[in-house]
Structure 1
Amino acid sequence: MKKNKKLLFWNNFKEISTSSKITFIFGVILISLYVSITIVEWYYQSWRTFNAFNVIKGDIDKTLTNKMDQNVVYPSGVRLLWGGSTYWFTFMCNVFMGVMLLVYPLHKKSKKIQKFYFASIVYILIVVSAYWTGIMIVPSTFTELVFDQKIKSIIMHVIAPVIGVSTIFWERKSIKISNKDIWMYAIFPSSYMIFIIINYVMSYKFIKFGGTELDRGIVIYELVSFKYPLGYKGEITFIIVVLDLIMISLSILTAPIYGFLMRKLLRILKPHQRSLPKLVFNANKTKPKEDDSKKFKLLDLPFNDTQEIDFQKEMESKNTTEEYRKINKKLLKQFINSKSNNNKKM
């Protein structure tokens, strides 16, 4: 059975296009990166925690004699490692994108896989834009990180997103995304915001032990604070409430906004569409042609009805538009005079 599955996978892989193979390889690279940097983070974080608690171990043992209390205070490997950064929206979106880069090339015809693949690109763009906007507002979010954390941050917020997003430029013609699909993308960020609110309410009591909300784990991102929303440090309640509402609204609307913009800019089809009109860029804009009869009146020449009719018949026997452009007022007057002389002789 295992041999048959491997053979089936290999046959499917050989049949996909070169661009899809590149997408798949990118997925392998990203998943490998995520696993590696997470393990490295766990390693360094475990030693930082060990060294810190090793210094105060004697004081803790003297102060807390109850084993249950000691277990609450002393570090736990599971809580420390799995709770390090795996609950971050950034980590979830990066892993989701990596998985979709692996799955999508092998199931390109699946409508669900198309939706998930496009969603992963939308989410990672939200991660990148939100993170670097936050860095511009609060630079210490990045500058105060230790070396291994900075490396991980650069991978998660620069290198991996560039690799993942680049695939949409050659895969965009293979997917179709409906309006409903894009609106559904709001579910994940909205659910995550609910998690942030619950964590904030239940954890706020830890602020009594000093440090910032981020230090105590009350917030996951410094800007996503309900007391200091979007970096606002003032105490005007009205502004705080308005910014809180804006923050919650952004968690609902950002993904659909990004989705619609990307579909428009990348010219991605909807399910019922077979093609989109071609974009035509014409630098030499020509004015619409005017009706010949209007041009005659613009000349403001002394035509009477008979002369105008004769002139129009004369022009109709030739290429009207081209000939008209070549004839000037002097020639037109000569034409009228000749017609007038003929009429007099008659």
Structure 2
Amino acid sequence: MPDAFREKPPSGGEGGIGDGPDIAGLAPPASIDDDSKDDLPDLSPAEFCQQYGLEDVICNLLVKHRFDPIGSLLDVKESTLKSLGFKIGHIAELRWAMKKVILAKYGTMPVRNGEAKYVPEIIGGIGGAGGFGGHTGGRGGTGRAAQIEMEDLFRFRDIRGGIGGVGGAGPVPGVAGLSEAAALAATGAAIAQEGPNISGGEGGAGGSGVLGGSGGLGKAARILAWQVAFFNKIGGGIGGAGGSGLIDGGSGGDGEGNKFPKLLWSIDNETRNWLLPTKLQDFKIRPDLRQLLEEQGFHSVGSLFEAYDTDLLEAQHDPNQQSLFKEGDVSVLTGALRKFVKEQKRKRKENRHFSL
């Protein structure tokens, strides 16, 4: 082997990431049936923002992108709003305000469930097969299990863990490394095609070289918990197969398991109706945490009732975000919102008592 190879053997390229479908991002800030949409008041962005206490930056974005009248927000995907420059906090503010508009008109949320009728089977991710190696076969990728909260277990009829990828073959005469398709067939894990099924992305295979390239990550789909009933079967991502190598085979890519975004704290429509507008300045949280929220476009406590845990944690991947949310921040906000609702209920009860 040439000396240059000994120092740094040429390697096959890594397989690309297979992105999973973003079902959550297809939803608008609020969902109601079409007939109810047509009867909502035709508020302009200025009227809407003034009435519901939205910041100027949100109003300017609504005007810039011509969401006038404001009911047009019920027909736009949240993923589109993100691409137009709305931050996660801005979108949470819009969720809160649009639901207040709907409740003011109807007193309830006239939601059409459509085909939400399934109790699906869920399967974790599938790791990619390790590549063939002239010296050492590549490691099979990790098949990660879905992460499901205890209170959401009733939504599924069958929950299966992830499936690890098959290890790549070593230097055995006449034996090649398993291809990704063969690895899937060996596991028997392919998702059945009957009914509305959904799977994550499929990572690309690693390239061949003196050292095989690693298979790409297969990302899981992004689905909200209430959306699972639209699917008969839900599968995780599929990691790409590792590339074959003259020395070492490449590692198989990991297959992500599904995660289901969870609201920081969930409230019912009755509570939503009577909660008074409250700015973050009057919310009992640490100043540094308040600053993080404001950087992401949150300005009212109401918007935090429309924020998902993953909204905050995924902000870590924003290249323009210098300060990052941590897992502990999410738990702190959950506890603070719970206490906030309890305190508001106590004050409301006292005011009713004194008014009698």
- Same-fold call, TM > 0.5? no
Higher RCO (CA < 8 A, seq sep 6+): 2
Higher-Rg structure is: 1
Higher helix content, 1 or 2: 1
